[in-house]
Amino acid sequence: MASLLSSKSAIITGAASGIGRATALIFAREGACLILADVSAEGGEETAKLIRDRGGEARFVRCDVSRAADTEAMVEEAVKVYGRLDCAFNNAGIGGAQCKTADYDEAEFDRILAINLKGVWLCMRAEIRQFVAQRTPGAIVNTASAAGLVASHSMPAYTAAKHGVVGLTKCAALEYARSGIRINDVCPGVVDTPLVEEMVAGRPKLAARLDQVEPVGRKARPDEIGEAVAWLCSDAASFVTGTSMSVDGGLTAQ
């Protein structure tokens, strides 16, 4: 039986750790050839090595998703190495400072939107242009968040950016639906990742609350998000576009 992503060329941003790394390993398991992108060269190369050690195909490129030149070079590398681009997971993002809206630092607000929202748009722009140039179907999945569907206390910039990702996804999905380009986003709840570990560092009460906030009684594993992304990028999801898939243990159903 053919693998879910057999022989597909894929890009994954934020691949150095967490959801990005877990998804990269799943894509490789399912037969994809990968370009892995991140600002962390050490983590990105480690992910690529993990895949190659298991017999997969992966190359790392350093990419700051807030820079147009970097996102364009990332797509160019995929085409140079694999001849085309078939799918992409725009996952790179940061949590940023936690502070109430009226007290939020302007520079920090700009930084979070530059990476978490503008970065998704820049990646999508480069990827969609490549799909159009190839005249082939393609699939894009963006990482939004449960915070893109409901408010997240003391995270105004992050919440605004993730709401923006949801809207951007829907807009692009409608624009390119007749071109055979499917664009969706995933909305994780609380996931056991370095981003969450950083968020709760030195804050035991918050750590305990996050352990209990999910209706299923635990945080998600990164690979549980990755499995959803792999399906959305595959031909099995051929009639799915413009959707925000909650992978949140029931968090936003409350």
Active site members:
158
DSSP for residue 117: I
Closest alpha carbon to 10 in 79, 91, 105, 85: 85
E strands within 95-219?
138-143, 181-188
DSSP for residue 55: T
Q: State the angle between helix axes of 18-29 and 222-233 in degrees (0 to 180), rounded to the nearest 10.
A: 50
Q: Tokens 């968090």 identify what position? A: 251
Give Cα 238 distance to the centre of its chain: 19
Q: Residues near 114 by Cβ (< 8 Å), separated by ≥ 6?
A: 66
